[in-house]
Amino acid sequence: TQLLEQSPQFLSIQEGENLTVYCNSSSVFSSLQWYRQEPGEGPVLLVTVVTGGEVKKLKRLTFQFGDARKDSSLHITAAQPGDTGLYLCAGSNQAGTALIFGKGTTLSVSS
């Protein structure tokens, strides 16, 4: 069974701080995705990483895929209140037909 473990589960920081969220598995994934979800809405795709060791940047967000394609991280530089939300990592199942989600990291950034 493919599982994705996210840490930390909750994160409460001040505006301007940096943070890293981790997504780990004992299984190899062909790709991993990161989503952000706000209360009352569906998840919105932020990025897809495909190649081991790949790094992608989206403004102040940096995403990394582990060399062995078993883990990923999301780093936010100088967090802002607008970054508040639930961050989810997800990987494709072996058949490529659906996503397996981690349990999510709830981020709260206060000004």
- Phi-psi domain of 9 (left: phi exceeds 0; alpha: psi -120 through 50; beta: other): alpha
Amino acid at 110: S
Cα–chain center distance at 30: 16
Stretch that binds another protein, among 15-23, 54-62, 71-79, 91-99 (CB under 8 A): 91-99
Residue 58 makes contact with another protein by CB under 8 A: no
Complex with another protein: residue 97 or 111, whichever CB lies closer: 97
- Residue 94 CB, nearest approach to another protein (Å): 13
Length of the chain: 111
Residue 100 makes contact with another protein by CB under 8 A: yes
